[in-house]
Amino acid sequence: MPSLGVNIDHVATLRQARYRETPDNPNAEPDPVTAALIAEKAGAVGITAHLREDRRHIQDRDIFLLRKKITTKLNLEMGISEDILHIAFQIRPEDVCLVPENRREVTTEGGLDCVAHDKTLRSAIARLHDVGARVSLFIDAEEKQIAAAASLGAEFIEIHTGSYANKFGEERATELEKLRRGAAFALSLGLRVNAGHGLNYENTKPILALPGLEELNIGHSIISRAVTVGLETAVREMASLIAAG
């Protein structure tokens, strides 16, 4: 049965909106680490945080505190940069999800190009394995990208569900079929399958039927829902939706 990983980036986004220049201010709130502990209590099997090169939301301090305080597992989302790799080597997260980064984007806009970045990815994956991290590659459900991910030695792919989430009706059904075929192909190559991006309380259920799906990483919709019902309730609702699916 798929499980829920909660992405806490948007808690940090809210904090940074007011305290970007003074993140260590005792008044700086909300605290993403506190949010992570609530999410664990409410049923998350892991906490996801994306430490970006531009530090637009999650800060280095958050990552080190998460490593000390959470009791499930840490999934560190990151681009391929020496700066962030150095931090990953220090904190030794259970999971690392390598993603593309564009400083002009609001959020990650597409999957990683494993074919174009073969050499860089191969080196980063080997080094992350050396510190005990399992590696996932955030990619679109394209055969050439999935095949490249397998050849690079990653344990997981995280299928990018953004295109699916942004479509409706027959177009969404077409995108879902692409995801289904991609997940099945990944399994045939020995890869394990996670998924995420743009998922919410309305569009998640069909995704649960993807072959071999192990984990969904969801953030924005849960934090948005928490504004009206509270974070613990929002996480429990999503965890229950996944369990019932």
SS (HEC) of 117-155:
CHHHHHHHHHHHHHCCCEEEEEECCCHHHHHHHHHHCCC
Give the active site residue among 57, 101, 197, 215: 197
Give the active site residue among 40, 57, 77, 101: 77
DSSP 8-state code for residue 198: S
Q: Identify the H or E element spanning 10.
A: helix 9-19
Give the active site residue among 10, 40, 50, 142: 50
197 is catalytic: yes
117 is catalytic: no
129 is catalytic: no
Which amino acids are annotated catalytic?
50, 77, 197
